[in-house]
Amino acid sequence: MIGENLPMLPPDAPLETVSVLKALAKASRALAELKGFADTIPNKHILINAVTINEAKDSSAIENFITTHDELYQAMSGSDVQNPAAKEVVNYRTALWRGYELVEQRQMLTTNMIIDIQAIVEDSRAGIRKLPGTVLMNAATGETVYTPPCGEVIIRQLLSNLEQYIHDDSDGVDPLIKLAVIHYQFESIHPFYDGNGRTGRIINVLYLVLKELIDSPILYLSRFIIQNKSDYYRLLQTVRKTGAWEEWIIYILKGVEQTAEETLQLIKRIHEAIDQMTTEIRIALPKIYSKELIDLLFYEFYTKTQYIQNGLGVSRKTAANYLQALEDSGFLSSQKIGKERIYQNRRLYDLVRN
């Protein structure tokens, strides 16, 4: 079985229609606002951590790996992950961080990087599809809607063309519009046996970082896609069948706009929570208060004696006393997971979960 012929990029059609440009203006504005606010926050890792946790969960849910924040939290804080869905989420998160690190280091987004990311997502080294048989089906009817290109040589040519499109800005097309094109093309190449959706969603955020539309990886479309899933699949097919890009591009731009607004609200609330807890701990526990301590409490939703010990350079006993005092004053609540006592920052946890 031979896959369908997928045209190389750039698309042979005008992309910047009047409606697209209108949607672009809104999306750009919302994104710039998010970027501007995120820029003013000193401890970006806190935001990135909080936002990527939700993204890992949502993106994995599209593939039906459903887990709760509680299970996830247990999986992250414990040493071995029992729950298979939580494991998928943890893999996704690891892949995302790895991708971000690579893009920051190399200022590029290459085929090899994409292969590395997918290997972490799927926890497999199968790499690019070599065997035929991969088809995309309509989940409801089971009917085959699309057979992606087949054969490693062709797939690599298409990826290399995509790579070129990603790095070539000479076309003057706005990167947010190109984001829609890139996502369609990547999903249509469908280079792997599995994990193409999740890998493609990671590529989206890495592309935004690469083009400096956002400094940290904090804008994710997965939640928007889950909420508008049938349009998502329908519009991918519409581009394929009719070559009409407009509705698809507007869909992605709408996703960027809506998500940027939601993310801005979330990070504002986290920022307020950090401020508030800082004030409260200063008053309630002036002897142990330090900025570094607050950072550690917000780093991962949970902390343990060892993190405080290493992070503050204090003895194990002192670290344990600090955590005890914080728990006694209601800032943390602890739980024994395996052999270890884990302290949860409930306020941060609740903010992120809602």
Ligand X SMILES: Nc1ncnc2c1ncn2[C@@H]1O[C@H](COP(=O)(O)OP(=O)(O)OP(=O)(O)O)[C@@H](O)[C@H]1O
- The smaller minimum CB distance to Mg ion, of residues 203 and 267, is found at 203
Q: Is 262 a residue that touches Mg ion (CB under 5 A)?
A: no
- Alpha-carbon distance values, 12 to 8, 260, 352 (Å): 9, 30, 42
Q: Is 251 a residue that touches ligand X (CB under 6 A)?
A: no
| Strands 136-137, 340-344: pairing kind | unpaired
Distance from C-alpha of 24 to C-alpha of 46, rounded to nearest angstrom: 29
Q: Please answer whether residues 263 and 34 qualify as being in contact, where contact means their C-beta atoms are separated by less than 8 angstroms.
A: yes
Q: Is 237 a residue that touches ligand X (CB under 6 A)?
A: yes
Q: Is 63 a residue that touches ligand X (CB under 6 A)?
A: yes
Sheet order of strands, 302-303 included: 302-303, 340-344, 333-337
Q: Is 194 a residue that touches Mg ion (CB under 5 A)?
A: yes
- The smaller minimum CB distance to ligand X, of residues 63 and 215, is found at 63
Helix (H, G, I), strand (E, B) or coil at 337: strand
Give the per-residue contact string, 150-189, with Mg ion (x = CB under 5 A; - = no).
Answer: ----------------------------------------
By CB under 6 A, which span of 1-9, 95-103, 173-181, 195-203 interacts with ligand X? 195-203
DSSP string, 229-241: HHHHHHHHHHHHH
- The smaller minimum CB distance to ligand X, of residues 185 and 309, is found at 185
Whose tokens are 């797939």? That residue is 155
By CB under 6 A, which span of 186-194, 213-221, 248-256, 339-347 interacts with ligand X? 186-194
Q: Is 197 a residue that touches ligand X (CB under 6 A)?
A: yes
In whole angstroms, the minimum distance from the beta carbon of 94 to Mg ion comes to 18
DSSP string, 104-134: HHHS---HHHHHHHHHHHHT----B--SS--
- The smaller minimum CB distance to Mg ion, of residues 136 and 320, is found at 136
DSSP string, 133-188: ---EE-TTT--EEE----SHHHHHHHHHHHHHHHH--TT---HHHHHHHHHHHHHH
Q: Is 194 a residue that touches ligand X (CB under 6 A)?
A: yes
Q: Which residues pair with 342 in a beta bridge?
A: 335
Q: Is 327 a residue that touches ligand X (CB under 6 A)?
A: no
DSSP string, 127-145: -B--SS---EE-TTT--EE
Q: Which does 191 bind (CB under 5 to 8 A by kind): Mg ion, ligand X, none?
A: none
In whole angstroms, the minimum distance from the beta carbon of 198 to ligand X comes to 4
Out of 49, 52, 67, 196, the residue judged to bind ligand X by CB under 6 A: 196
By CB under 5 A, which span of 191-199, 208-216, 219-227, 326-334 interacts with Mg ion? 191-199
Among candidate residues 153, 180, 152, the one with its CA nearest the CA of residue 166: 180
Q: Is 245 a residue that touches ligand X (CB under 6 A)?
A: no
- The smaller minimum CB distance to ligand X, of residues 145 and 284, is found at 145
By CB under 6 A, which span of 123-131, 194-202, 205-213, 340-348 interacts with ligand X? 194-202
Distance from C-alpha of 41 to C-alpha of 219, rounded to nearest angstrom: 16
- The smaller minimum CB distance to Mg ion, of residues 65 and 298, is found at 65
Out of 235, 236, 332, 342, the residue judged to bind ligand X by CB under 6 A: 236
Q: At 65, phi and psi to the nearest 5?
A: -95, 95
